[in-house]
Amino acid sequence: MSAVTDASKLMNNYSRWPIRLVKGKGNTVWDEQGNEYLDCTSGIAVTSLGHVPPRVSERLQQQLGQLWHTSNLFEHPLQEQLAGKLAALSGLDRAFFCNSGAEANEAAIKLARRWQQKVKGEQRYEIITFQQSFHGRTLATLTATGQDKVKDGFAPLPEGFVTVPYNDLAALTEAISARTCAVLLELVQGEGGVTPADPAWVRALEQLCAKTGVLLIIDEVQTGIGRTGTWFAYQQYGIKPDIVSLAKGLGSGFPVGAILAREEVGEAFSPGTHGSTFGGNPLAMAAGLATIEVIEQERLLERVNELSRYLLSRLERIKQAHPAKVADVRGKGLLLGVELTQPVADVLAYMREKRVLALQAGPQVIRLLPSFVSTEAELDRLAEVLDAAIAAV
């Protein structure tokens, strides 16, 4: 991986791959030399419809000629449309728009605390999160994150966060107290190793929250908008959260984040309590509406499940072929992980040399995030290169 050169004025906070991408179309990206790569990262679960999807691009270009920004001092018809669409798809009632997943989780934390303190009149403020979770890079969301590596050097961290083991009901039950405001949960821990939550644990967690007056926040930043084969991952668990955070795939690459909440909870945000200068701008709303329309009209949720079954079968064959090297294959929809018995960095480097791009999720897990418009032939190429990489490294 390359670092920022001495001549660059960029801060050196990313370990970048030695590839400069200049163009993308569908599932293919090109570097400065014209080399083609099969992109199985989707920009970290963002470009779910492939790069520069035509209908989203057309909608954005149309909006570019009309209105870019006005601020939230004015009513926004496109905000109303996208909020209504998300409410219908989620079964929740209210929406707030921002620009990123970290902002969405910040808003969810603020909304939960304000509801408990101003609506319920209870001095609850603690948020329970889980080991190996990832919720963002702001001070509050990195504190909520259950990985110490993201917290190094940022002390003092905000108080009010308690982290317990994932899929452990006893630990969660013990952690809940009179101070507990909400539980913040990823149903598939993407950055933390592509680890799905146990369904029985999730149902018991929901019941425990209801019993104790604790709000349930589901972080769908990476899993939402179809990535796991349903509009939201929680729909596969038979639960209904109080608050949901979204970003990544909502805008097909245009920056947009959101939270959704049930009616009573959403009312805790009264005028002046929270805001975002750029949140819900017309360009972002146009991208979000077009993205959802394409997924609906082209029946891409069905396609995600078809492709998931196809790719999982290929990955299971790789596991069987390399029993000493492949420990597990897991995930949901097109958020899949291959856990190796060794570090994956060299495997990913080999794949890049063969012009296939995949991600890391922890030191020993390869994360695969193909787009919803992938073909079986592209997944075959991914599997063949991954198989060769595991064999060679």
**Residue closest to 291 by CA, chosen among 378, 227, 377:** 227
- Residue from 96, 97, 130, 134 carrying the catalytic annotation: 134
Helix (H, G, I), strand (E, B) or coil at 58: helix
Which residues, 6+ apart, have CB-to-CB distance to 152 below 8 Å?
A: none
d(CA 137, CA 103): 9
State which amino acid sits at residue 90.
Answer: S
Q: 39, 232, 242, 248: which is the annotated catalytic residue? A: 248
Length of the chain in terms of residues written: 393
Question: How many angstroms separate the CA atoms of 298 and 278, rounded?
Answer: 30
Is 248 a residue of the active site? Answer: yes
Annotated active-site residue in 219, 232, 242, 372: 219
Query: Cα dist. 76→83, 95, 280, 281, 288 in Å?
Result: 11, 13, 8, 8, 14
Of 193, 197, 196, whose CA–CA distance to 364 is shortest? 193
Bond preceding residue 156 cis, omega within 30 of 0? yes
Nearest alpha carbon to residue 390 among 328, 348, 333: 348
Provide the annotated active-site residues. Answer: 134, 219, 248
